[in-house]
Amino acid sequence: MLSLNLLKNAIDSIKPLPPVKVSYLMQSGEEEIAFNHKEELRAASIIKLFILAAAYCKTERGHLDLSKQVYISPSDAAGGAGIISCLSEKQTYTYQQLLELMIIVSDNTATNALIDYIGWENLHVFIQQIGCKHTVLERKLMDEEAKKLGLENKTSCLDVMHLLHLFTEPNHILSQHSREQILTILGNQQLNSKLTAFSSYDPNIQTCHKTGELNEAEHDAAIFQTADRLFKAVVLTDRWTNNGQGQQFHLAAGARIYQYLKN
């Protein structure tokens, strides 16, 4: 088994220079490696992990019914990532299906419908309740008017890693049943071109993750399970001149993570 410090050296060797912002936090058992892991960056679609966790937490306590149906028409479409905005007619979904679409294909329309259902205040309280000090949800996805007002969703590697712990370890926020459902959804992720690009095609490694991207920003938060270890990685990046460069960095980092897991 390679040392986690060797992985850190490998990641740092490909880390871009400023003005690109890079932060990461990776953990295996009691070991961890980190760089700027408390820095707040634009969350992009990584914020959807907090919505996912809040939905299951509220459902467990009887505050939400994920089997409830909702109609979404073309006029409700948020644009950007996802498939709902591409459909031509009004569609009916359960909120459970919207959760799945929000994660598996990063659907923004589904996300905004879930924000309305869960409620802004409930989401803010949940984020505070679980102890995430660097995460804020200030606007819906693809809300250009809110962006013009300076409203932005933000998070840090530390906060996202805390969520990954809630998804994998026994805790008082999420039951085992909810954790299993969450990991199943994350394991069905269709966007696998970043940290999991190599590992997701290896039958000996189970990957569960969520990506995020905005203009100049590229993120990924992943859980890797092998026969003998549970490895978690959060990489948040911003200020790329071209997003393709950010994707290449994540791909290169994913290759080094894969090498670490295979040794």
Element (H, E) at 213: strand 206-214
Q: What is the mean pLDDT of the chain?
A: 95
Residue in 14, 17, 33, 15 with CA at minimum distance from that of residue 25 = 33
Residue in 25, 12, 4 with CA at minimum distance from that of residue 259 = 4
Question: Would you say residue 21 has pLDDT above 70?
Answer: yes
Residue in 108, 154, 161 with CA at minimum distance from that of residue 135 = 154
pTM of the model: 0.96
Residue in 235, 242, 253 with CA at minimum distance from that of residue 44 = 235
**Max mean pLDDT range (1-5, 90-94, 255-259):** 255-259
The answer to whether the beta carbons of residues 206 and 199 sit under 8 Å apart is no
Question: Would you say residue 233 has pLDDT above 90?
Answer: yes
Domains and CATH numbers, the chain: 4-262 (3.40.710.10)
The predicted structure's pLDDT at residue 190: 95
> Is 2 or 119 the better-scoring residue by pLDDT?
119
> pLDDT > 70: what percent of the chain?
99
The mean per-residue pLDDT over the stretch 12-18 comes to: 96
Residue in 71, 262, 25 with CA at minimum distance from that of residue 163 = 25
The mean per-residue pLDDT over the stretch 121-148 comes to: 93
Angle among Cα 35, 41, 45 to the nearest 5 degrees reads 115
Span of 39-48, 71-80, 89-98, 230-239 with lowest mean pLDDT? 71-80
Question: Would you say residue 88 has pLDDT above 80?
Answer: no
The predicted structure's pLDDT at residue 2: 66
The mean per-residue pLDDT over the stretch 7-33 comes to: 96
